[in-house]
Amino acid sequence: MRTIKYLAILLLITFISCSSEPPSNVVDVTAKDYYFYVHDSIPSGWTTFHFKNEGHATHFFFLTLLPDSIPFERYHKEVLPPFVTAMDSLEAGESKANAGALLGRLLPKWYASAKVMGGSGLTAPGNSSQTTIKLVPGTYSMECYVKTEDGKFHSELGMIRPITVTNQVSKMQEPNNADVELTLSNQGIESNGNPSSGKNKIAVHFKEQPKFGLGYDIHLVRLNDDADMDKIISWMDWMNVGGLRTPAPAEFLGGTQEMPEGYTSYFTVNLEPGNYAWISETGANNGMIKKFSIKE
Ligand SMILES: [Cu+2]
């Protein structure tokens, strides 16, 4: 009798400790044309996102932390239309400076307090990528603004959704022992360590960000023999009419979206022999590119 009682107590303790255990914080995100499949609610702390592109277009996701007082519906209603209007004006022949000024006038004032907190880099159809970032609790918008063949943002077609990061903190630790450290600043991309054939763990340090507009991020692009660098650079800028428009001019293998100054994000890539480049959306036309090769 005593043994049964002892076992019952042991089972109860096991059950309680299991149910209060923080989840591992590996989050699957599947992109299709044009939707994200992901849990509505995830824990906070260090989180690894496994991003799988099952669509026909190149996609990414980035996470914007909304100000406390702004629900997702309001973000969606007040932020997306100004970008569409600015893009329409660029397509109508307006200069980038004027379209940028128009965007500034149309965006709500509170938008300045929204923070982009990372996400997965550009990922070609059929590819997977992953990124590890530290999340604070709050409401985030997950979105992709790559464009269709006719220039519509994927977010306009459904690739924008809320995701709640809860107060429950994961047990995941910050990754360590990166093979390559990339530091982003107004000086460009500083790289320490050499990527090698196989699996590479990359740490990206956001040392400095531009005062206005999009921040520096990192995307990994494979440069085949026919790669046209000028075309790739021009494609990285969403304000170019042909920028970010499907199809992508090269194969993208993931990376990390921008984060505020002082943050670090991590991602893992599997490299075969060939030629590659780290490239940032912002600053690509200003030298924010670093080419490298993986030997046989
Ligand atoms: Cu997309």
Amino acid identity of 156? E
Cα distance between residue 29 and residue 36, in whole Å: 7
Sorting pLDDT into bands at 50, 70 and 90, what band is 239?
A: very high
Residue listed under structure tokens 């043994």: 3
Contact in structure between 240 and 216 (CB atoms under 8 Å) = no
pLDDT recorded at residue 171 = 87
Model confidence pLDDT, tens digit, residues 40-59: 999 999 999 999 999 999 99
What Rg do the C-alpha atoms of the chain give, in angstroms? 21
- Asked if pLDDT for residue 268 goes beyond 90, the answer is yes
Model confidence pLDDT, tens digit, residues 95-137: 999 999 999 999 999 999 999 999 999 999 999 999 999 999 9
Sorting pLDDT into bands at 50, 70 and 90, what band is 12?
A: very low
Report the sign of the C-alpha dihedral through residues 197, 202, 207, 211, in that order: positive
Cα distance between residue 45 and residue 5, in whole Å: 38
Spacing, Cα 159 to ligand 1 middle (Å): 7
Q: In whole numbers, what is the pLDDT of the chain averaged over residues? A: 92
Cα distance between residue 157 and residue 6, in whole Å: 58
Spacing, Cα 269 to ligand 1 middle (Å): 20
Cα distance between residue 61 and residue 116, in whole Å: 11
Beta bridge partners of 196: none
Supply the DSSP symbol for 240. Answer: S
pLDDT recorded at residue 213 = 83
Spacing, Cα 251 to ligand 1 middle (Å): 14
Cα distance between residue 123 and residue 131, in whole Å: 12
The answer to whether the predicted template modeling score (pTM) of the entire model surpasses 0.85 is: yes
CA 265 vs CA 100, 126, 257: distances in Å? 28, 24, 9
Model confidence pLDDT, tens digit, residues 199-230: 999 999 999 999 888 899 999 999 999 999 99
Spacing, Cα 260 to ligand 1 middle (Å): 23
Spacing, Cα 148 to ligand 1 middle (Å): 8
CA 273 vs CA 128, 182, 193: distances in Å? 18, 20, 17
Spacing, Cα 131 to ligand 1 middle (Å): 17
